[in-house]
Amino acid sequence: MGYNKTMIEDTKKITKDVFFRHYAGLPLAVRKEIVLDLGGKGGPITWDVAYIEIQTDTKLGNEIFKRLIDLEFIPIEHGTKRS
């Protein structure tokens, strides 16, 4: 059975929920720290900036989210599929 569009969107939402749970567990001081540097695409990104961009579902937010997943900065729980 293949994934339909709704299933793919649900998987993305579940994965982003994992980011929001991880962010909620970060100490306030850590949220101000740089977590990623996108260079010319957006420069240094703090956890706070990542949260705002991912929450508002911007193009930059999607790039930040993908990079955080690729770098394994966001723990992916068992049973959560990466897209």
Question: Do the domain assignments include residue 55?
Answer: yes
Number of domains in the chain: 1
Residue 29 lies in a domain: yes
Confidence of residue 83 (pLDDT cuts 50, 70, 90): very low
Q: Over 90: is that where the pLDDT of 13 sits?
A: no
Give pTM, 2 decimals: 0.74
pLDDT tens-digit map of 40-56: 878 899 999 999 999 99
What's the 3-state SS for the chain?
CCCCHHHHHHHHHHHHHHHHHHHHCCCCCHHHCEEEECHHHCCEEEHHHHHHHHHCCCHHHHHHHHHHHHCCCCCCCCCCCCC
| 21 is a domain residue | yes
